[in-house]
Amino acid sequence: MPSNQLYFFDVPTDISAEWRKLFELMDADMNSRDSLLGRPKASVLKERREVLENMGIKNEFDAILSAEAQKERGNMYFRQGRVGRANALYFCSMTTSPLPSTFLNLAAVSLKQHMWLTAVMFCTRALAFKEVMQPATVAKTLYRRAVARRLLSHEGKYLREALSGKQNIVNTAIYFADRSADIKESHALQPDNADIAAELSKIQHMLTLKFAELKKAIEQQRNALPPLLPAYVMSGAEAGGTSTEARVHCTRRHPASFDYRTAPLPEF
């Protein structure tokens, strides 16, 4: 089958517009700075092809199916409290096929690990797929990014300068107002969600605080978080065995009746 001009994905030219959009978004993500991390594109492509070859995956549709299975196995570990193990499976899923639902789960892991900036990054990568995401998933992603940004706030340049006396800013509006955009959009999408409503109320209150009060509030919020546990960290042994686990337990193939020209997209 002839393929299109995507760099990382070899897909048929007669796929539907919806599938093409998904693969275009996936290709754009893999071309991004947060995905490449300074590595040459050719080496990243080679690595992914080797992963798919080791799993016996011969087309991108089976790769997506397998990536979703890896993510679901990670979800099983996450529910068990084995966050480090879940993280390892999510990274395997991301390598197999970079899907927005996996980025959202990686953001959840980052929040558990108190890695606020990483959580923001994964939420932002997920939101690049907004066109193919369900409204509820968009709302959840915006909510998680809002939480991470709130807890990250006192590390921001302008807030640090104000707290150190370098700037005479009497309230948080100049620095902190952009932190309310995510949660407002999330609340508009899911106005009846109690967690989202509580976060909106919390951020709106923080917008009224003076900088010194804001610093104290953020420190109190951080101190109230559940502690980091050893199970939240991916050990070397877990990282080493995950690729085998993903290959043995999560490799999936569509049935012979699968027709990519008419098949609907997975729900994200």
Alpha helices in 31-134 (DSSP H): 33-36, 41-55, 60-79, 83-96, 100-112, 116-127
Least confident of 26-35, 82-91, 145-154: 145-154
Q: Would residue 26 be called left, alpha or beta, if left means φ above 0 and alpha means ψ between -120 and 50 degrees?
A: alpha
2 pLDDT tier (thresholds 50, 70, 90):
very low
The helix/strand/coil state of 93 is helix
Residue 239's contacts (CB-CB under 8 Å, 6 or more residues apart) are 88
DSSP state of 164: T
**What is the predicted pLDDT for the residue at 257?**
95
pLDDT tens for each residue of 199-243: 999 888 887 877 778 778 888 888 898 888 888 887 666 666 788
Sign of the four-CA dihedral 37, 41, 45, 50: negative
Q: Which residue has better confidence, 133 or 216?
A: 133
- Helix 116-127 and helix 135-152, axial crossing angle in degrees, nearest 10: 150
Between 216 and 42, where is the model more confident? 42
The whole-angstrom separation of Cα 212 and Cα 82 is: 37
Q: In the structure, what pLDDT confidence band is assigned to residue 162 with cuts at 50, 70 and 90?
A: low
The pTM for the full model equals 0.90
